[in-house]
Chain A
């Protein structure tokens, strides 16, 4: 089982890297779906079947559909891919943080045998009752978000990359939205 876990996780990390590096948005969304599917397989292997199924249907399914939908509306955009932070700094920072965490956490790891615990459904619905309430509020916010996504009639999007003056006007209108 360890070998399977290792293969699946390497696959997930590779998919993640491809999702970040791909130039096209649509491809990034598909790679993300791959990450999600592989993670849910790992969850299944670990024995968390319920979570695996939810993650597969919601993470790999619904969210991907939403991504494709949103990219279709917003449109691909040719863009200079260089980040706003110097590339070496980004790599070094993330690398240092990950290596420090790994160095500190890995030697201390150890599995302890399962404790007596309430069944999953009882724990979810009763002991974590506040989570459920907050989730309901979140889902409500999500519904409003979807309404925002599809509610307004699409407006003409400038075909060419906007010039400086248009950007200025754009940020003005953004401020108006915020206000």
Chain B
């Protein structure tokens, strides 16, 4: 059964590993690789054990005194699932790194941050207290920043990291404001207390909290209109991309929306806003993926688009569907990023226009990439198909016209997926690239994930039973067996429509020479999409204004300690004088 030791281990093992790997020092890279794999594998095993011991009661409580409430860790079904995803996919990314990072400098920093990141994500999902959740939330932001700019002599990497940090911290402010208001009104830090008392809060206050949390979730999960940080995060080493896109980070936003859904569902327009944020992300990011030339950028846009489906599902009330798609996505997207990493590692470029015909040289990578890509496109019987159908079904049940957009998005997904496979692995080589198949550690991670992409949908029965057992009281989730799911999916007409669209998407790529005229007509859209729909421009303007203001106020920052202290003492005198004036009057 779940007990406090398991909780301590599942967070403590990665963090202890981070410390040990860092202390071993960069002079012994072999040990660093081995220890990192050892600790992350141990965490993955413990996380698997935790899945069987899920409960909706706090199993570890650390008292922090009367002022700050207690630290509580609650491994309910949702938390246990996300813990398992973070630990297991994280472990596979670490194993992949053994080959990918071989011979790189500063492995200690790399592995320490990766393990710290995994532990923080696990802590975040297990948190039962708002204060604690905020801490872990910000630790994940910090780790993602540090890992995205891991190659810190590359200005692009540093800029990407800072962008991620600024955007996600902005979202963190939304979380902080919401959490502070909750504590102010309910007097408790416990999430469970808030969910139970949410209906007693004044409507406008609840709306403030709800939209603050939506801001936080959209920034963290790179949803519209905060999607711009995720493509910038592509400067990170590929295993890091897999980690951020599949195992940790972006899942946190979807998790947050799920966790607080029962409290916010009644807030006017909140579910509509969530639905629209998700849908806008699905469609915009899908178009951008179609226009991207960089393999990893295309994958990043597809992540935004798929996260959009999860957010959309939550807006439509399909809570379980969103988490089921999260699981599928975590598996196939980690697979895609790691396979893309193997391609980039071998070819030395990320530009898809320079690739082509790599399939013959790296058959295994092509095979697993295609499996992942077909899962992404939602081709039966891969895991992405089932979970995406569940999401769309939730959209149909919610009875809003937006589901049409989501269905169109599925066709778009198929089109950009086909384009990716075609450009990278098929056709004639467009330049001489050194390609070789993946080395053994990479191959291990890839094969495990490919097997996952083929099979995780079979877990729907136990998983939904787990959710129903631990979450039905507050979230009202019912168990769904495998047969029921298959029946439901096949009986929905939307499924066949989606399959038709997916087929059309693939066919459109096959017959793209026939559609050249259409493509030409759509060129302006492609141009706008390849310029991120102007969001990059908007970002630059914001940065420009901020920097301009900073230049003006720079005069107050002399950089001389003495003058800073003068400012502090002067401030003290002003405050005292104000007190005297107020008291004296």
Contacts and interface: CB of A to CB of B under 8 A. Distances in A.
A–B touching in complex (CB under 8 Å): yes
Interface of A: 83-85, 89-90, 93-94, 96-97, 100-101, 104, 126-131, 133, 179
Contact of A93 (B62, B158, B569, B579): B569
Contact of B65 (A89, A97, A126): A126
B545 interface: no
Nearest to B155: A179
A130 B566 contact: no
B576 A130 contact: no
Contact of A101 (B63, B563, B570, B576): B576
A155 B94 CA distance: 36
Contacts of A104: 576, 579-580, 583
Contact of A100 (B68, B560, B561, B577): B577
Interface of A is mostly: helix
A100 B563 CA distance: 21
A172 B570 CA distance: 32
Given A97-B576, A100-B577, A100-B580, A89 B68 contact: no
A84 B559 CA distance: 11
Interface residues of B, number: 24
29 contacts: A83-B562, A84-B563, A85-B563, A85-B565, A85-B566, A90-B566, A93-B566, A93-B569, A93-B573, A97-B569, A97-B572, A100-B573, A100-B577, A100-B580, A101-B576, A104-B579, A104-B580, A104-B583, A126-B63, A126-B65, A128-B65, A129-B62, A129-B63, A129-B65, A129-B68, A130-B64, A130-B65, A133-B64, A179-B152
Interface in B14-73: 62-68
Interface in B226-282: none
Interface string B426-460: 00000000000000000000000000000000000
A96, A130, A133 interface centre (most CB from chain B within 10 Å): A130
Contacts of A133: 64
A94 B569 contact: yes
Contacts of B68: 129-130
A85 B564 CA distance: 10
Interface of B: 62-68, 152, 158, 560-563, 565-566, 569-570, 572-573, 576-577, 579-580, 583
Given A128-B65, A131-B65, 15 more contacts: A84-B560, A84-B562, A84-B563, A89-B566, A90-B566, A93-B570, A97-B569, A104-B576, A104-B583, A127-B65, A129-B64, A130-B64, A130-B68, A179-B152, A179-B158
B189 to A, nearest CB: 11
Q: Which 9 A-B pairs have the closest CB atoms?
A: A84-B562, A85-B562, A127-B65, A129-B64, A130-B64, A100-B576, A129-B65, A93-B569, A130-B68
Contacts of B562: 83-85, 90
Given A84-B561, A129-B62, A96 B152 contact: no
A175 to B, nearest CB: 12
Contacts of A100: 573, 576-577, 580
A129 B569 CA distance: 32
A116 to B, nearest CB: 15
Contacts of B67: 127, 130
Contacts of A89: 566
A90, A129, A133 interface centre (most CB from chain B within 10 Å): A129
